[in-house]
């Protein structure tokens, strides 16, 4: 089996010509990998997916369809309160209410299911699977999604963990000096608040989270899933890319599967996951397809409030892809410790790898 690329350094790939050059050099490596035979099943996920990709591969080895394996894998994150970007313990909206988004897609049947702004149900990806399998529809939102989940026997519970409540309250009390909320100077010393500040910073409260998982079975069948609690402290009812087919996830049996995490609106505007799949259809490797899509995202990021002083996107977007041969790749707009992905192949342990990227983020900058 060819070795996965563990480090990919790319500086300031800012032009289409450079992106095309990246694609051109990537193709021989993909061809060599195919000739050597790439081990399948394989699963690729965002950096928080180490346990999820392992379980997804085990599930496919046990006979599960890729989409079911993907949902089984991400359920680990949905149940884990230490992942504050997904499921139970996910950070709430600006009103302190946890609203979850998720979607699934099966490339063989070309079917999808999704839920958005779903409250009180820990496993939205499993609900999305039921939307796909037990309705004629693709996307259910809000109260309708909750009624549907109730009808299918999903238990209701309070999804706001104590850690998430304390972090939300800290944000609420410090978001503005012009409202009636008064913070306590000691709040920042609370262990849960401290944990959050150390992980995500004290001033920039809009980092990337979410889990996407794309799965490719031994026979090349494909499926995928994306699940999230969404942007931290979002508007009530705000929906990102995760439950939108073509944006947060997409797969096609003839080509491959892809998904995104990070700044959802950037993926929506450029239809991120579908664009990755279409670039793979044109013959690009998964990594080159992700980079070409991000080049488009950069070109489409035109509003001044979304661009930094150098005209580059302020926000990060990460893409993940697998083709039907089992080759994987990932790329981010910005480098950094959070621009990583996880992959697991049959017969190997899961690995955390660095995504390719367009722009290098200086270490001091979060």
| DSSP annotation string for 338-353 | T-EEEEEETTS--EEE
> Binder to ligand GLY among 77, 93, 130, 210 (CB under 6 A)?
210
How far, in Å, are 30, 212, 269, 277 from residue 225 at the CA level? 25, 6, 20, 15
Region binding ligand GLY by CB under 6 A among candidate stretches 1-9, 11-19, 227-235, 270-278: 227-235
How far, in Å, are 66, 216, 244, 251 from residue 40 at the CA level? 11, 7, 27, 17
Q: Does 355 bind ligand GLY (CB under 6 A)?
A: no
> Binder to ligand GLY among 59, 93, 99, 261 (CB under 6 A)?
261
How far, in Å, are 37, 39, 222, 280, 283 from residue 252 at the CA level? 21, 20, 7, 10, 14
Q: Does 230 bind ligand GLY (CB under 6 A)?
A: yes
- Look up 210 and say whether it is catalytic: yes
Q: Does 262 bind ligand GLY (CB under 6 A)?
A: yes
Q: Where are the alpha helices (DSSP H) in 282-330?
A: 286-300
Q: Does 315 bind ligand GLY (CB under 6 A)?
A: no
Q: Does 240 bind ligand GLY (CB under 6 A)?
A: yes
The span from the CA of 224 to the CA of 147, in Å, is: 24
Which position has the token pair 């063989």? 108
156 DSSP 8-state letter: P
CB of residue 263 to ligand GLY, shortest distance in Å: 6
Pick the closer one to ligand GLY by CB: 66 or 264.
Answer: 264
Nearest to residue 41, comparing CAs of 176, 262, 246, 214? 214
Pick the closer one to ligand GLY by CB: 41 or 272.
Answer: 272
Q: Does 83 bind ligand GLY (CB under 6 A)?
A: no
CB of residue 247 to ligand GLY, shortest distance in Å: 9
Token output for 239: 């929906």
Q: Does 295 bind ligand GLY (CB under 6 A)?
A: no
> Binder to ligand GLY among 73, 259, 264, 326 (CB under 6 A)?
264
Cβ 236 vs Cβ 267: under 8 Å = no
- Catalytic residue of the set 15, 16, 85, 210: 210
Q: Does 231 bind ligand GLY (CB under 6 A)?
A: yes
> Binder to ligand GLY among 77, 242, 275, 285 (CB under 6 A)?
242
Region binding ligand GLY by CB under 6 A among candidate stretches 76-84, 158-166, 258-266, 308-316: 258-266
Strands (E) located in 85-186: 100-106, 111-118, 139-141
Q: Peptide bond preceding 69: is omega within 30 degrees of 0, i.e. cis?
A: no
Q: Does 86 bind ligand GLY (CB under 6 A)?
A: no
By annotation, the residues acting in catalysis are 210
Site residues (vs ligand GLY, CB under 6 A): 210, 228, 230-231, 240-242, 261-262, 264
């Amino acid at each position: 089996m060819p070795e996965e690329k563990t480090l990919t350094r790319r500086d300031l790939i800012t032009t289409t010509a450079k992106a095309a050059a990246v694609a051109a050099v990537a193709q021989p490596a993909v061809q060599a990998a195919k000739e050597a035979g790439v081990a399948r099943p394989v699963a690729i996920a965002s950096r928080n997916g180490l346990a999820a990709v392992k379980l997804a591969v085990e599930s496919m080895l046990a006979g599960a369809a890729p989409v079911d394996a993907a949902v089984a894998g991400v359920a680990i994150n949905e149940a884990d309160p230490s992942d504050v970007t997904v499921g139970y313990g996910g950070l709430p909206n600006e009103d302190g209410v946890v609203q979850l988004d998720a979607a699934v897609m099966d490339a063989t049947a070309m079917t999808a299911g999704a839920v958005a702004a779903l409250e009180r149900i820990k496993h939205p990806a499993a609900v999305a699977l039921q939307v796909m399998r037990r309705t004629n529809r693709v996307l259910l939102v809000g109260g309708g999604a909750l009624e549907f989940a109730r009808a299918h026997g999903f238990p209701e519970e309070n999804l706001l963990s104590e850690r998430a409540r304390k972090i939300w309250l800290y944000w609420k009390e410090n978001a503005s000096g012009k409202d009636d909320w008064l913070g306590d100077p000691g709040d920042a010393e609370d262990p849960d608040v401290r944990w959050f500040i150390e992980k995500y910073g004290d001033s920039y409260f809009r980092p990337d989270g979410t889990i996407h998982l794309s799965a490719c079975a031994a026979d090349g069948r494909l499926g995928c899933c994306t699940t999230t609690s969404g942007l931290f402290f979002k508007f009530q009812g705000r929906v990102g890319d995760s439950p939108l087919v073509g944006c947060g996830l997409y797969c096609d049996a003839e080509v491959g599967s892809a998904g995104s995490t990070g700044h959802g609106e950037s993926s929506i505007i450029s239809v991120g996951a579908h664009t990755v799949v279409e670039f793979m259809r044109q013959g690009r490797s998964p990594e080159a397809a992700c980079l070409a899509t991000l080049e488009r995202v950069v070109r489409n990021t035109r509003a001044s409030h979304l661009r930094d002083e150098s005209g580059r996107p302020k926000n990060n977007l990460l893409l993940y892809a697998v083709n039907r041969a089992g080759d994987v790749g990932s790329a981010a707009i910005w480098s950094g410790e959070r621009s990583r992905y996880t992959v697991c192949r049959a017969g190997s342990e899961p690995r955390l790898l660095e995504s390719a990227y367009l722009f290098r983020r200086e270490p001091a900058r979060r």
